[in-house]
Structure 1
Amino acid sequence: MLLVTGATGFVGSAVAAYLHEQGHPVRAVVRDPSRADVLPDGVERVAADLADADSLARAIDGCEGVFHLAAAVGAPGPEARELNVGGTRRVVDAARRAGVRLVHTSTSAAVCVPDPDGPGCVVDEDAAGGTALTDTYSLTKAEAEAVVLDAVAEDGLDAVVATVVNVYGPSPRGPLSYNQLFAAAARGEVGDIVDTRVGWTLAEDVAAGQLLAFTHGRTGRRYVLCGEIASFPEVLDTYCELAGSPHRVRALPGGSELGPDAPPFADRSVVYGRLGGYRVRDDGARALGAAPRGIADGLALTARWMPRG
């Protein structure tokens, strides 16, 4: 039995569905029963809360592994720290006490550091940790990753870190995350975007990479799951073309700001644009067999799946 936290979220629901499709018994942590309809039939639901250590211990009982995906995105500082750091600490403690392997889902934002070999930043599987980003989400996710790796080094926790880059594409939860930005561009609601290069990965490919990390990953290792590096304007214009939209975006140079009416997730182009974008070192994940699709295939799949209008 594999436990998935955040199983009703955008990425978590894709991971729960993928594990189930691969024949693994799955137990999903569900805090809000009204959101559980995205889970496939046959996935066990368990009521638990990351703020409640006892409920996590009960949820993990009988499991052989935990996929921790629950996180706060866009929440105020105290709330984000409580869930992203405090919640992760309680999941770590529960997994350690149960003696099971943990796959902790991190983000490129948590390990985006100045690139010693050139301009911009690098997301490196072998980085010591920390991030050059200063927003609440990035900082709290960096702290959460440190909680996991410290527990590996100091307490013998069996854990791997799956670091994901910008996630998009089909998910049982629907067209959320960067899909919202794609849809807004196709409607002509994205006039400007900062021209910065970052990584992009399909949600299903994240799920496949996480399972590889669980089954074959080395304890204490970080695995970066990235499909392809591409600029925000390139990705948005390609999506518009594939979706049959005549709209295109205007690329602004790195360091530019967007107006207050910019759609969700457009601000990430600003955040990474200040750093000069990033490149990725993901040799470890690819050595495990991870083969995320590039943006041509990924965006074509997304355009066929996403509702129009």
Structure 2
Amino acid sequence: MILVTGATGLVGSHLIQSLLQQQQPIRATYRSAIPSFTGAEKVEWVQADILDIISLEQAMQGVKQVYHCAAIVSFHPKQKETLQHTNVNGTENVVNACLLYHVEKLLFVSSVAALGRIREKETINETMYWTPETSNSEYGKTKYLAEMEVWRGIGEGLNAVIVNPVIILGAGDWEKGSSELFKTAYKEFPWYTEGVTGFVDVADVVKAMVGLMNSNISGERFIISAENITYRQLFTSMAQCFGKRPPHRNVTPLIAAIVWRLEAVKGMLSGKAPLLTKETAHTAQAKVYFDNSKLLKFLPDFRYKALSSSITDICGELKKKYQLP
């Protein structure tokens, strides 16, 4: 039996569909409602919360492999406590339950944010860790602390591996998460930055996760990144796939500083989370490069899908999903 936490998210839902193709028995957790993606009816759904130790331990019984995908991704200052509880305490609970029930292997989905990704003068690799000087987000700090819980579990005898994906692209709910980038391009958002970061297809993330889980690799972490490109290149490719006008106005650091402050004020007045924060404004301007060579050395048969092909395919899926012209 395989257990998947965070099964309703972009990575979790695609992971389940991949495992189902391999005829794997799957148990997945949900908190409020069972999702309705393709293949969901073949999953054993268990209502559980990683912050509820009793329900989590019940879900863990009889399980041999655990994919821990559940997490909160937020760069809103008011989410600090929620990030700490879910990302750190929740992972602690998962690790403890794996040890208690002698799970054969845990795969933890972390993030490159845990590596301290604000390093513009050096390429980021798996030897790096979060520090206050190399990260500008509470999210990055909590993913780093969550990794520390996994390493603690490894020290106590748990067989585990960690993946650190960059920004994941996929045809999920484009009202939230990284899939919202496609909606932004479709709506012809005019602004762009020359900031650089890594991007990867969700299908490649899942393929790497399954490959690592089914290997004898343990006690390692892996960056999962297909290519390093500019945000301008990304949004231009997305817009062209939708037949929309590409971004054409450069967001300078000064403009970004003004906009995130205006968004903060708007958020205070409306009570809604701002579209842009100080952290995301800074990240969008940074030129960050990731080294993806370690995964390719450990999984020599693994090949990344070209981002151009990923964007084309995802745009096509979103057109069908949202009945776009």
Report the TM-score, using the length of structure 2 for normalisation.
0.84
What amino acid sits opposite 1:242 in the alignment? C
* Number of the residue aligned with 1:90: 93
Q: In structure 2, what is the Cα distance between the partners aligned to 1:164 and 1:46?
A: 27
User: Any conservation in 1 of the 2:168–2:200 contact (CA below 8 Å)?
Assistant: yes
Deviations 1:160-206 (A, max 9, x none): 001111011224x5664222122222212x23233211111111211
Q: Distance in 2 between matches of 1:78 and 1:158?
A: 29
**d(CA) in 1 for partners of 2:254 and 2:302?**
33
Q: Quote the offset at 1:156 in angstroms.
A: 1.5
Q: Which residue of 1 aligns with 2:136?
A: 134
1:11-26 correspondence to structure 2 within 5 Å: 11-26=11-26
The residue that corresponds to 2:287 in the other structure is 277
Check whether the contact 2:118–2:136 (CA below 8 A) recurs between aligned residues: no
Moved more, 120-129 or 55-64: 120-129
Cα 1:208/1:152, change in 2 over 3 Å: same
Q: Which AA in structure 1 matches 2:32?
A: D
Compare 89-98 and 246-255 and name the one that shifted more. Answer: 246-255
Aligned equivalents of 1:213, 1:282: Cα separation in 2: 15
Q: 3-state SS of the aligned residue for 1:38?
A: coil
Q: What amino acid maps onto 1:144 in structure 2? A: A
* Alpha-carbon distance in structure 2 between the residues aligned to 1:78 and 1:136: 10
Within 5 Å, which residues of 2 pair with 1:151-170? Answer: 151-153=153-155, 155-170=156-171
Residue 3 of structure 1 contacts residue 65 of structure 1 at CA under 8 Å; is this kept in 2?
A: yes
* Matches of 1:268 and 1:39, distance apart in 2: 35
Q: Label 1:217 to 1:239 Cα distance change in 2 as closer, same or farther (>3 A).
A: farther
Aligned residues: 301
- Could you tell me which amino acid in structure 2 is paired with residue 229 of structure 1? N
Aligned mates of 2:277, 2:182 — CA distance in 1: 10
The CA distance in 2 between the partners of 1:267 and 1:251, in whole Å, is 18
Paired amino acid for 1:213:
L
Structure with higher RCO (Cα < 8 A, 6+ apart): 1
1:110 is aligned to 114
Indicate yes or no: 2:311 matched with 1:286.
no
For 2:165, the aligned partner's letter is: V
TM superposition shift of 1:254:
5.9
Aligned counterpart, 1:61: 61
Whether the 8 Å contact between 2:10 and 2:170 is mirrored in structure 1 is no
1:18 deviates by: 1.4
Over 3 Å counting, the alpha-carbon distance change for 1:161 and 1:249 in structure 2 is farther
**Aligned partners of 2:288, 2:24: CA distance in 1, in Å?**
35
Q: Retained in 1: the 8 A contact 2:197–2:230?
A: yes
Structure 1 residue identity aligned to 2:123: V
Give the CA deviation at 1:69.
Answer: 0.7
Structure exhibiting the larger radius of gyration computed from Cα positions: 2
Read off the aligned partner of 2:316 and give its amino acid letter. Answer: R
Unmatched tracts of structure 2, length 5 or more: 265-273
Measure, in 2, the Cα distance between the counterparts of 1:252 and 1:174.
23
Q: Please tell me the residue identity of whatever aligns with 1:99.
A: H
Deviation at 1:292, TM superposition (A): 2.4
CA contact (8 A) 2:69 2:108 kept: yes
- Structure 1: segments with no counterpart, 5+ residues: none
Q: 2:263 touches 2:276 (CA, 8 Å); kept in 1? A: no
Describe the shift of the 1:269–1:292 C-alpha distance in structure 2 as closer, same or farther (beyond 3 A).
farther
CA-CA distance at 1:248 after TM superposition: 2.2
**What SS is found at the alignment partner of 1:124?**
coil
> In the TM superposition, what is the alpha-carbon distance from 1:106 to its structure 2 partner?
0.5
> 1:50 Cα deviation (Å)?
0.9
Q: Relative to 1, partners in 2 of residues 1:175 and 1:38: Cα closer, same or farther, differing over 3 Å?
A: farther
> How far apart are residue 277 of structure 1 and its match?
2.2
2:107 is paired with a residue whose SS is: strand
Percentage identity across aligned positions? 24
* 2:283 aligned partner, one-letter code: Y
Contact 1:228 1:293 in 2 (8 A): no
Higher mean C-alpha displacement, 178-187 vs 254-263: 254-263
CA contact (8 A) 1:162 1:210 kept: yes
| SS at structure 2 position matched to 1:162 | strand
Structure 1 residues 223-242: Cα deviation after superposition (integer angstroms, max 9, x where no partner): 11111111101100111011
- Shift, 1:294, TM fit: 2.2
Q: What value does the CA root-mean-square deviation take over the aligned residues?
A: 2.5
Matches within 5 A, 1:130-279: 130=131, 132-153=134-155, 155-171=156-172, 176-188=176-188, 190-216=189-215, 218-253=217-252, 257=256, 259=259, 260=262, 264=275, 270-273=281-284, 276-279=286-289
